[in-house]
Amino acid sequence: MTEANTNPTEELNPFKIAQKQLDKAAAVLNLDPAIHALLREPLRELHVTLPVKMDDGTTKIFKGFRVQYNDSRGPTKGGLRFHSQETIDTVRALAAWMTWKTAVVDIPLGGGKGGVICNPKEMSMGELERLSRAYIRQVGRIIGLEKDVPAPDVYTNPQIMAWMADEYAFLKGYNEFGVITGKPLEIGGSQGRMDATARGGMYVIREAAKILGLDTNGATMVIQGFGNAGQFAALLGVELLGCKIIAVSDSKGGIYNPDGLDPQAVIDWKRENGSVIGFPGTEQVTNAELLEIPCDILTPSALESQITGANAKRITPKIVAELANGPTTPEADEIFYKNGVYVLPDFLCNAGGVTVSYFEMVQNAYDYYWDVETIHQRLDEKMTSAYHAVHETAEKFQIDMRTAAYVIAVDRVANAIKVRGWV
């Protein structure tokens, strides 16, 4: 690498980035100043302190958050992260992006997000269960099917959602499974939820490739981040698009083979060895180096601010498909737009997860469940419609795709605020 992946003068605070992105769209829309000011901050947030009995008999104190950014279009909705580097500004940014995400795919929800500062990789199943239940005991008073609905995110999963739904049932005295999405099928989960984020992203890539004249059959794909979204992106990139996966990475580093990787074999290796590192027949690369590997489709699926003003000029795919939230900074966006790199922004590209979570809420509400083919069909319709609306807006205003997605989403939220008489 010739340069570091950071620039000391570049803003990397995710919430300040989210506000800057909003400001850009507000200028295009000539947004009412009062609505603009309202949309720059969360409506409400809760900070909680969680005492948890650890396996060794000690009690450890954890800090957690729940942010409800805007509920003008419906109950807030958003994931819950267990991460050692979690911050309130990250949660605020993610809640803002969830507000725009639900609006851009036009589902009747607002945006929320939660987080707990912890390292789940160092915790036992019993400790994770006690932490999950402690979190719900504190935030249970502000969540609910008609208030705010959490879901899995980084280092949380269906089992953690099940514990949380169970704890909420004890608090309420009855089952309300729709309070949490991403649950196991046994307690009201939805078919198609596990791969929904990646599948929705593949539908959007498919439509973008048609517009760009890119044949995805044999197109090369690089995936940064090999958790749930990244693994399914690899599998579905091959299955749905015919792509060749040439590099993937996780938190410990990446692997590269220009002749292509077998996604299932890499998944099995990671499960057995704890990382993709060391997979036979590959060259080891860093996460930063992986982003600069020449490819047709780059799929950032890890954490925020991976692509910045410092490295964007060396990143040259035809398409950047953001399955992660906030992987690209505003400075990098400007470089990509100038260089003709076509960005599928996070809150469009990764909206498949919240869309199928919404489907799960609908199924919970009337206690009738759809088959997986119905889920896939309805997800495809939502993602395809949203993509074309964003692309047409970008063409109309001659703006980049992220700003176009913001223009659509912010306009929908602003209209809800106006008709409700908030401003």
Which two tokens mark 205?
């890539």
d(C-alpha 244, C-alpha 278), whole Å: 20
Task: Please say if the pLDDT value at position 247 is more than 50.
Answer: yes
Helix axes 196-212 and 372-397, enclosed angle (nearest 10): 40
Q: How does residue 36 score in pLDDT terms, banded at 50, 70 and 90?
A: very high
Side-chain half-sphere CA neighbours of 397 within 13 A = 21
Q: 3-state class of 382 per DSSP?
A: helix
Q: Express each pLDDT in 175-217 by its tens digit.
A: 999 999 999 999 999 999 999 999 999 999 999 999 999 999 9
Which two tokens mark 288?
């930063």
pLDDT of 154? 87
Q: 3-state class of 40 per DSSP?
A: coil
Q: Express each pLDDT in 248-304 by its tens digit.
A: 999 999 999 999 999 999 999 999 999 999 999 999 999 999 999 999 999 999 888
pLDDT of 295? 97
d(C-alpha 337, C-alpha 383), whole Å: 23
Residue 137's nearest CA partner among 176, 167, 92, 160 is 167
Q: Do the Cβ atoms of 225 and 346 come closer than 8 Å?
A: no
**What number of helices (H) and strands (E) belong to the chain?**
14, 12
Q: Express each pLDDT in 381-407 by its tens digit.
A: 999 999 999 999 999 999 999 999 999
Q: Do the Cβ atoms of 85 and 44 come closer than 8 Å?
A: no
Determine the average pLDDT of the residues in 226-233. Answer: 94
Classify the C-alpha dihedral 416-29-77-350 as positive or negative: positive
Task: Please say if the pLDDT value at position 85 is more than 60.
Answer: yes
pLDDT of 11? 78
Q: Do the Cβ atoms of 393 and 407 come closer than 8 Å?
A: yes
Which two tokens mark 266?
């890499």
d(C-alpha 299, C-alpha 241), whole Å: 14
Report how far apart, in Å, the C-alpha atoms of 404 and of each of 25, 388, 394, 395 are.
8, 11, 5, 9
The residues annotated as belonging to the active site are 113
Q: Do the Cβ atoms of 98 and 77 come closer than 8 Å?
A: yes
**pTM given for the model:** 0.92
Residue-range domains of the chain with CATH: 43-187 (3.40.50.10860), 196-349 (3.40.50.720)
Task: Please say if the pLDDT value at position 5 is more than 70.
Answer: no
Q: Express each pLDDT in 121-165 by its tens digit.
A: 999 999 999 999 999 999 999 999 999 999 998 899 999 999 999
pLDDT of 305? 81
Q: 3-state class of 370 per DSSP?
A: coil
Classify the C-alpha dihedral 310-94-38-382 as positive or negative: positive
d(C-alpha 6, C-alpha 164), whole Å: 37
Average pLDDT, the chain: 95
Helix axes 352-366 and 196-212, enclosed angle (nearest 10): 130
Which two tokens mark 334?
């400007």
Q: Do the Cβ atoms of 31 and 110 come closer than 8 Å?
A: no
Task: Please say if the pLDDT value at position 4 is more than 50.
Answer: no
Pairing state between β 297-300 and 220-224: parallel
pLDDT of 12? 83
Virtual torsion, Cα 133, 138, 141, 145, nearest 10 deg? -40
What distance separates the 2 farthest-apart alpha carbons in the chain? 62
Q: How does residue 1 score in pLDDT terms, banded at 50, 70 and 90?
A: very low
Share of the chain above pLDDT 70, in %: 98
β partners of residue 115: 65, 81
d(C-alpha 186, C-alpha 162), whole Å: 9
Virtual torsion, Cα 153, 157, 159, 165, nearest 10 deg? 20
77's enclosing H/E stretch is strand 76-83
